[in-house]
Amino acid sequence: MKENKPVDIAKKHREDVIDTLQLRHKERRVLYALLLIFLATVAYENSAFLYDSLIAASHPLPELGQRRKPQLKHDMIDRLARALVDVSEDFPQYWARFSQNQKLLADATKMLLEEGSAAAALANVEMVVASMKEFAEHPLIIPTKNIERLNTEISSLQRILKLKVDTATIAPKPLVFTKEAAASEDQRQRNLFEYCLR
């Protein structure tokens, strides 16, 4: 009969079992991280297809070479209006021009709140920009700090909104101090030297 020799089985300690379990747990976490990176890479590489299938119908992408038209915003009008108020304090004799331009800016602000009136608001702002640029470049006007600030606001508006106002070729017009009021025709003519008892 064959003798059964005792087999030497390696004894595992408790620490070895814990280390093995921790190692498997770390390997599983690394595997999940690699799978996540792989899925993110696939999604990034096929983002155009995914975008088309999900939301392309409701959100069309602009074609290459096309730029969005710049839009007029409330803060642009507010900055221009504040600069206009500061300049009007320096030149109170031209209150008629400033009050007219401030009214145009107030109307433009109201138009921006209404839907579909953005073009009319932009036209108002363009008129104010042309008027104040002509005023600031007039030979009678002495440049001040507030006028420089107004010129900065005007040039930034022209750059952002692509407004073209060329006052170099236009001959300077006389600056009007007051609004022109039409004389009423039905007013009775009086002779100041004629005296009569009533």
116: left (phi over 0), alpha (psi -120 to 50) or beta: left
CA angle 126, 128, 131 (to 5 degrees): 110
Cα(54)–Cα(35) distance, rounded to whole angstroms?
23
Name the pTM for this structure. Answer: 0.53
Task: Tell me the pLDDT tens digit for each residue of 116-138.
Answer: 788 888 888 888 888 888 888 88
Task: Tell me the pLDDT tens digit for each residue of 137-172.
Answer: 888 888 889 889 988 988 888 888 887 776 655 555
Tell me the torsion sign for CA atoms 86, 91, 97, 99: positive
Instruction: Tell me the average pLDDT across 168-193.
Output: 58
DSSP H helices, the chain, are 14-45, 47-55, 74-90, 95-113, 118-136, 145-161
